[in-house]
Chains A and B, each alone.
Chain A
Amino acid sequence: MNYPFWDIPHLGSGWVIGIIAIFHVMISQFAVGGGLYLPIAERKAMRMADKNMSAEWLTQLARHSKFFLILTGVFGTISGVGIWFAIGLTHPEATSTLIHNFVFGWAMEWVFFMVELTTVAVYYYTWDRIDPRLHLKVGWVYAGASIATLVIINGILTFMLTPGDTWLGVAGTGHEASVFWNAFFNPTYWPSLFLRCCVCASLAGIWALITSSRIDGDKHLALKTSLVKWSVKWLVPSFVAIPFLMIWYLMMVPESQRALLSLGIDTIGAGTFSVITRIALVIIVTSATVVGVAYYLAYRNPAEFNLSHAMAVLLLALIATGSGEYAREMLRKPYVIGRWMFSNGVRVPYVARINQEGYLAHSMWVWNGPVLNDRITSMGITPLNDPNLSYTRGEAIFRGECGSCHTLSGYRPLKELLAGRDRTNIGSFITMLQDYRADSPYRRFMPPMVGSKQDVDDLTDFLNAQVNSPAAKPVLAAATK
């Protein structure tokens, strides 16, 4: 409420984060897994008894490291910065909370990130230029630094789902940073870390299959066979451990949020938040398929494994990873920071106060906000939007309270979800969201509607005009404060 609203029509701002984040995760987890893959493979090659094969492996690894450098160093870095921009614009309140709590965590991560960027460049450019043992050490330094970035960011990501009772005990007092380590090593930290490590290892193998698939099987059959088979083995830890780790992870998630997973078992009804169940199914099927396809196409048939096959495995992995990240985000509902901040940026303890004082009284950046409006007027400019109109107030409330998860006519479209309801029905629905009774089905995944009675009316007018326009518009003109 202290920041401007970032309105992305049709797509919704959440998806801007989602798209960048899924792309970033695919690359950044490769940066961690691949960071281990390279020195382990290099060490293996250096210890081979067959010197010709050893040389062939090292040549191929040098090629792979070029691919690795470009992908992680360019696309990984750019998308990482993109996430910062996107979360800052979409969830400024949550981003602010995270920065205030984890500023030193991020500082540490960035130090390791700089080490990563430096060593990966050194690693690639010093093939055959420095002593092989020193080159291998550079690889190990890179691997250590990249794992360290995962260890740190995992603490911040898991905090958002399960901040833990200790942190929640001091939240809002200004002393949150005093319990940094409690927040960092929160209930889902360890299962999430092991899960991500498994995913990183898998992605290292899958991305390595891309470069290995391009080896000419007719000319270098032994090299291709050994590299493809060895890369597939990187999927084994995931195949074995992920089901158990997933159970551990879900056991640590609060029961109320775990229950979200079952909402879509028996329905696909609109507004029932069944999507998370469906996405969970996709993760299971796709992950199993990645293993199956990698086994059939790559491990059992390495000589004929080509780039199309490798791309198919990668695409499946992309779907599994993307679905996993989407499900993790959805599991936080109705919060963006568990039990502390609702997904629309409203802090849980502030609800009663906002209900009393009104939502827009705390929104400094809307056109009728006290500061902005006075400033515009003092400049001799009449605000374009009449601040007294219920319609414009309603739109501001829509953007602030609904816009994080809904659009009007695109993703989770309110025009569609509210279709068939008249103004009275829309009003009743919003009132129900404001009442936020314990037995309300929406309470499981939606934040309450916060604000005064006037705010409820204004939002109702706005949504009614959108859903039932144009007939409803003349009524709005008269609906002034």
Chain B
Amino acid sequence: MTEKTAYTWIDERLGLSELAAFARHKTVPVHSQSFWYYWGGISLFLFLVQCFTGVLLLVYYRPGAEAYESVRQITFVMHFGWLIRSAHAWAANLFIFAILVHMFSAFFMKAYRKPREFGWLSGMVLLGIASVFGFSGYLLPMDELSYFATKVGLQIPMAIPYVGEAIANMLRGGPEVSEFTVQRFFALHVVVLPAIFLPLLAFHLWLVQRHGNASPPSEEVKPGAERKSIPFMPNFIRKDLAMWLISLNILALLASVFPWALGRQADALVPAPAGIHPEWYFMSPFEMLKLLGNVLPGEFGEIAGLLLFTVGIGLWVLIPFYDIGKTSGQRARAAHYFGLLAVFALLATTVIGYWTIR
């Protein structure tokens, strides 16, 4: 009785029963490619893990000149500090991986078509912010590897004509990567980026709820009677939660068996160690620019590489405005091949990048 009264009291104020009714009526398509529906949820889960572990790391992390020492204490002194740090770092990598899988599955299911254009666009911006999250977080331990990788990474904006150097200096807080850079990246990582990311994420999730899950074209052509679906609540949510549990498990396994290492303290005066390379999710653009630099050496090659990359990303982002048909036509096929080319280019350049690390 008390429970019912309490629920009624809350319901009258928050409208929980309306939400529950909405969830009960909402359905999720079931077909041979349903597996890919879970990747959005997995990405969300990994983001939540990062929020939680990030807050815990904040308790001990000290940006600036003491950055390395504080991470050393977290990793080698605090009880289970290494676990929180490993979980944070691994979750960040898995997060980007999950977003990429989510993006490509949405692409090949044509989930960017009307009326889901904003879902696609907001997703792309979220991916962009996620990679900046990764880039800014990578420097924070200020060990040898993160220092030199950031130094190399910040060479890229230098290639932008006229304003490149100014942008790089602004990001670095000076002409060199230093404790000021750490301070800036820290502010970016824990304040600026979340402030942009969270509302955008809410918008993205709202769009997903509004338009529901898109079916692949092969399902769209089937008559309504032949299409299967399951209720969002509780069937899909239950499976989604199980996927979260499995993701948590993979994360725990990686964080425990392969704890995130901490290298030597960064020293600007020593030469860069051999094999410095960007994180795996930046390896493809890094390698593309490198390959293009071999073909077109000098500043011209750098500018051409940046241009090519920008055009490629632009085309990718604007695909909903090209492939607008409901049925499989010439544009749909062209978009599909473009997607395949993108996957191949990403994989090939990443593999070549790792293959040629020295």
Contact = CB atoms under 8 A, between A and B. Distances in A.
Interface of A: 264-269, 278-279, 281-282, 285-286, 289, 292-293, 296-297, 300-301, 304, 308-309, 312, 316, 319
A285 B248 CA distance: 8
A300 B238 contact: yes
Interface string B242-274: 100110110011001101010000000000000
B27 to A, nearest CB: 14
Contacts of A285: 248-249, 252-253
13 contacts: A264-B82, A266-B76, A266-B82, A267-B82, A268-B259, A281-B83, A285-B248, A286-B252, A286-B253, A293-B246, A296-B245, A300-B234, A304-B239
B230 A268 contact: no
A20 to B, nearest CB: 20
A281 B249 CA distance: 11
Interface string B218-229: 000000000000
A289 B76 contact: no
Given A266-B78, A266-B80, A296-B245, A301 B239 contact: yes
Contacts of A268: 75-76, 82, 86, 259, 261
A191 to B, nearest CB: 24
A267 B253 contact: no
A411 B168 CA distance: 42
A39 to B, nearest CB: 31
Interface of A is mostly: helix
Given A266-B77, A282-B252, 12 more contacts: A265-B79, A266-B79, A267-B76, A268-B86, A281-B83, A292-B245, A296-B241, A300-B234, A301-B235, A304-B239, A308-B35, A316-B246
B81 interface: yes
Nearest to B241: A296
Nearest to B73: A266
A304 B249 contact: no
Interface residues on B, range: 20 to 34
A297 B79 contact: no
B76 A281 contact: no
A300 B257 CA distance: 32
A354 to B, nearest CB: 35
A269 B79 CA distance: 13
B245 A289 contact: yes
B53 to A, nearest CB: 14
A265 B245 CA distance: 24
Contacts of A278: 83, 256-257, 259
A292 to B, nearest CB: 5
B327 to A, nearest CB: 30
Contacts of A265: 79-80
Interface string B173-189: 00000000000000000
A301 B248 contact: no
Nearest to B252: A285
B89 to A, nearest CB: 12
Contacts of B78: 266
A309 B243 CA distance: 10
A322 to B, nearest CB: 11
Given A296-B241, A301-B238, A289 B248 contact: yes
Nearest to A269: B76
A296 B246 contact: no
A304 B230 contact: yes
Interface string B20-43: 000000000000000100000000
Contacts of A293: 242, 245-246
B259 to A, nearest CB: 4
Nearest to B237: A296
B74 to A, nearest CB: 10
A289 B239 contact: no
B238 A279 contact: no
Contact of A296 (B77, B83, B239): B239
A217 to B, nearest CB: 12
A81 B239 CA distance: 40
B105 to A, nearest CB: 16
B246 A289 contact: yes
A250 B111 CA distance: 53
Nearest to A289: B249
Q: Which 4 A-B pairs rank lowest in CB-CB distance, beginning with the nearest?
A: A278-B256, A285-B252, A268-B259, A296-B242
A319 B253 contact: yes
Contacts of A308: 35
Contacts of B246: 289, 293, 312, 316
Contacts of A316: 246, 249
A301 B230 CA distance: 11
A83 to B, nearest CB: 23
Contact of B77 (A264, A267, A279): A267
A389 B81 CA distance: 47
Nearest to A287: B249
A352 B132 CA distance: 60
B238 A282 contact: no
Contacts of B241: 296
Nearest to B83: A281
Contacts of A296: 238-239, 241-242, 245
A441 to B, nearest CB: 14
Interface in B42-98: 75-83, 86
A304 B35 CA distance: 13
A309 B34 CA distance: 13
Central interface residue in A268, A279, A301, A308, by most chain B CB within 10 Å = A268
B249 to A, nearest CB: 4
Contacts of A312: 246
A266 B257 contact: no
